[in-house]
């Protein structure tokens, strides 16, 4: 998501000007010509953390049902979760360079189960809520898609399978996993075998 200059509202999504024509346009041309996917890491947690809970509610970030959300004034499309808004902002950024049909893969998404005192929202409860809601959202039948691409399924990968207990940085960096390094479970996530969602670790 760092390649975006603007992401709110989603219809205003654009790429950073210093890479839009020099890097993103040739990349998108390659993906389009080879019928490949644009891969994007979508982390509502980081958007929520950066906002400090000022404009983005926790429920909106956690994909909780019956969240008020917002309507994009430019398109009239309504967003009930931050994940969809971030995905569509990426699609609009591609559209701004005249690439409208490149499919997306969500290569990483997740929520930390622990964090520093300043890392608001990082908890095992919220991580379980987010990842379970993510699975339901992505695995819905028929596919929900997003307001801009309704009915379109997005292959999605959860980050991560294991906590990385030796990773440097803030506390949250060591607590994205579904399991501890000793293979005991951090919290329960319901992953169906025929699901379109996969857990990954790196």
Cα separation, 180 vs 182, whole angstroms = 5
Assess whether 95 carries a catalytic annotation. Answer: no
Q: Which residue's entry shows tokens 């596919």?
A: 143
Q: Which of 95, 68, 96, 92 is nearest to 82 (CA)?
A: 68
Which token pair is 178? 């579904």
Residues contacting 66, CB < 8 A, separation 6+: none
The alpha carbons of the chain give a radius of gyration, in whole angstroms, of 17
Q: Which of 64, 119, 136, 173 is catalytic?
A: 173
Q: What is the largest CA-CA distance in the chain?
A: 50
Assess whether 108 carries a catalytic annotation. Answer: yes
Give the number of other Cβ atoms within 10 Å of residue 202's Cβ: 8
Assess whether 119 carries a catalytic annotation. Answer: no
Using an 8 Å Cβ cutoff, are 150 and 96 in contact?
no
Q: Which of 64, 95, 119, 164 is catalytic?
A: 164
Q: Which of 95, 108, 119, 136 is catalytic?
A: 108
Angstrom CA distances, 182 to 60, 72, 179, 186, stand at 33, 45, 8, 10
Assess whether 64 carries a catalytic annotation. Answer: no
Residues with a known catalytic role: 108, 164, 167, 173
């Amino acid at each position: 998501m760092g390649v975006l200059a603007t992401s709110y509202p989603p219809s205003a999504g654009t790429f950073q000007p210093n890479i839009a024509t020099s890097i993103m346009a040739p990349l998108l041309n390659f993906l389009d010509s080879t019928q490949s996917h644009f891969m994007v890491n979508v982390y509502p947690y980081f958007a929520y953390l950066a906002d400090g809970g000022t404009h983005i509610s926790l429920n909106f970030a956690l994909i909780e049902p019956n969240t008020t959300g917002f309507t994009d004034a430019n398109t009239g499309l309504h967003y009930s979760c931050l994940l969809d808004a971030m995905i569509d902002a990426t699609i609009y950024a591609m559209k701004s360079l005249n690439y409208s049909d490149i499919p997306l893969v969500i290569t990483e998404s997740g929520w930390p189960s622990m964090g520093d005192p300043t890392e608001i929202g990082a908890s095992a409860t919220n991580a379980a809520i987010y990842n379970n809601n993510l699975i339901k959202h992505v695995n819905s039948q028929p596919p929900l898609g997003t307001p801009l691409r309704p009915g379109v399924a997005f292959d999605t990968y959860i980050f991560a399978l294991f906590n990385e207990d030796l990773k440097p940085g803030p506390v949250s960096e060591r607590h994205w996993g579904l399991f501890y390094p000793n293979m005991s479970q951090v919290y329960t996530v319901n992953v169906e075998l025929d699901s379109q969602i996969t857990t990954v670790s790196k």
